[in-house]
């Protein structure tokens, strides 16, 4: 959605816990504004959850 408008989402990732079973946390920002945070057992899952939350925030701000 953001990429289709020429905007690039930027992810910041971190993890906690043991390396064999980490919990990843990702935040997604667009134009230096944070839109979503997500957690998961992999970086990809955390990013997907952050993107899902960002879509909900953006849709809500557009009245959808």
The band of 50, judged by pLDDT with boundaries at 50, 70 and 90, is very high
32 Ramachandran zone, left/alpha/beta (phi>0; psi -120 to 50): left
3-state secondary structure at position 43: helix
pLDDT at 1: 54
pTM for this model (two decimals): 0.85
3-state secondary structure at position 16: strand
Radius of gyration of the chain (CA): 13
The band of 3, judged by pLDDT with boundaries at 50, 70 and 90, is low
Q: What is the pLDDT of residues 9-40, one digit of tens each?
A: 999 999 999 999 999 999 999 999 999 999 99
Q: Which domains does the chain have, with CATH numbers?
A: 3-61 (3.30.160.20)
pLDDT at 62: 84
């Amino acid at each position: 959605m953001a990429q289709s408008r020429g905007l690039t989402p930027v992810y910041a990732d971190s993890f906690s816990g043991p390396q064999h079973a980490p919990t990843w946390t990702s935040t997604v920002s667009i134009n230096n504004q944070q839109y979503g945070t997500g957690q998961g057992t992999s970086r990809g899952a955390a990013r997907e959850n952050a993107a899902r939350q960002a879509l909900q925030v953006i849709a809500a701000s557009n009245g959808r």
